[in-house]
Amino acid sequence: MFFIALQLIVSLASIASADHEANWFRTTPSGRHASIDASKRVEEQVTATTCLPTDSFIRVNGRQFELAGKEFVFAGWNQWEMMEAAMEAPSPPARHLPLPGREHIVRIMNEAVRTGLKVVRVWAHTITKGLEVQIAPGVWNEEALEGLDFFVSEARKRQLRIILVLADNWYPAGVDSYVAFSDSASRHQDFFTDEKAKQIFKDMIKTITLRRNTVNGMRYADDPTIFAYNLINEARCQNCPAETIGRWIKEMVTFLKSHAPNQLVGLGYEGFFHSDDPAELRETNPGVGSDWAAREGQSWIRHSRHVDFFSIHVWPDNWTPKTLEFQAQYIQSRLQIAESFEKPFILEEFGKQVNRDEGEQSFIERDRYFSSAFELSERAAREGRLSGTLFWHLYDRGVGLTSKYGIHTDESTFNLVRQHAQIMNGIGGQSNFCSPR
């Protein structure tokens, strides 16, 4: 592992001076791995499928997802900066891409599907200033939307399912852009109450759900490839009453379902309890000696009643205590609390920092956290209390080499991902992958 880490550092130094030098990159070990046939178009490079039925929507049946009448249990991944890569922007996304972006996307999809992963959660928006999807109210970046079309179409070819995230809390191109668009809003919290900001976000929902894919001709709302939508990734309304986000969620879910009745909706929450929630629930929040999580506006159980499934995000590096024990305790507490409700449960984001400069020891530490999360999830899946996991996040080899959270397929953590995917497929009675038709 130390040798691998050293290779990554050396590769990074080379890549930094060779931005988008595809021919050079294709001669490197990272470039040769998962390479595609240069004599064919990227759209013709399907090497495996998930074996899932293509034209059946995923449904909810009590605490289970169902696909074509059978329980659906899955392992999957998160992937960000997808639209920037898929639109092959003239200025590259935050993570260097030595190959054309669509080539990286195809490589990642092929390898993930052959590993047994069935679901990908991806942003239906950009995070890069200057490459926004909605440039101004009602003014759309068609190149970005066509990038999303490409991704959805490629997923459909591989029978892969997608969770689309419609907005992000953290980046300037996210929630705050809607506030900036409205002349009656001025702060982050106004996104949830300002009528103009809400209408602009509804326009985003309508634009995506009713869009006709320029690659395969399908309307997004009619495409079973889209498993579900997250309204926002990790919504925040600091010091707001729980009803503020709650009313917004109810309104937006109703609006979205009116345009896409066959697709599911989730929150994209970490899973915090509000200061108005019972003390025994608040005590399970992260933040020893602090009530910060209770002041973020989330009320996990109350707000989850408006959506189709429970989901949580787990970030031990950003919380206290930063221990493996607390990660396990947090996941277990949310599983236990959700048992009283008839909804499926997804561990939708989880990750652990790795310091590549420290070599093997840092990877060993990350593996401990991943092993624990996977073991808990597999046990809960066997008991019918959990339906899926989505780790954060997968990079193509040779990309994101300074990322604290990114996982590459030549790292020990990905061996755990592979084993976990096979176990989850076994629990769900699914094949790991199939040959393309």
Distances in Å between the Cα of 361 and the Cα atoms of 354, 366, 374 are 9, 9, 20
- 264: which DSSP letter? E
Q: Containing H/E element for 425? A: helix 412-427
- How far, in Å, CA of 238 to CA of 296, rounded? 4
Q: DSSP of 167-232, one letter per residue?
A: -BSSSTTSHHHHHHH-TT--SGGGGGT-HHHHHHHHHHHHHHHTPBPTTT--BGGG-TTEEEEESS
Using an 8 Å Cβ cutoff, are 347 and 312 in contact? yes
User: 155: burial class by Cβ within 10 Å (0-12, 13-18, 19+)?
Assistant: buried
Q: Name the burial class of residue 410, with classes exposed (0-12), middle (13-18) and buried (19+) by CB atoms within 10 angstroms of its CB.
A: middle
Distances (CA, A) of 10 to 7, 17, 33: 5, 12, 17
pLDDT confidence of residue 391: 98
Pairing of strands 139-140, 134-136: antiparallel
Q: Is 173 exposed, middle or buried (0-12, 13-18, 19+ CB in 10 A)?
A: buried
pLDDT for 400: 87
Q: Which two tokens stand for residue 231?
A: 């309204």
pLDDT reported for residue 89: 58
Pairing between strand 58-61 and 64-67? Answer: antiparallel
Kindly list the structural domains of the chain, giving each domain's residue range(s) and its CATH number in brackets, ordered by start.
2-427 (3.20.20.80)
Please tell me whether residue 433 adopts helix, strand or coil conformation: coil
Q: Where are the alpha helices (DSSP H) in 316-359?
A: 324-338
Q: Sign of the CA dihedral 84, 220, 69, 63? A: positive
Contact assessment for residue 376 and residue 336, using Cβ atoms and an 8 Å cutoff: no
What are the pLDDT digits (tens) for 44-98?
A: 999 999 999 999 999 999 999 999 999 999 999 999 889 999 987 555 555 678 9
- Identify the CA nearest to 169 among candidates 111, 237, 234, 106: 234
Write out residues in the chain with pLDDT < 70, as ranges: 1-20, 89-95
Distance CA 370, CA 437 (A): 34
Report pLDDT for 129.
Answer: 82
The tokens 């899946």 sit on which residue?
A: 381
Dihedral sign (CA 266, 81, 94, 98): positive
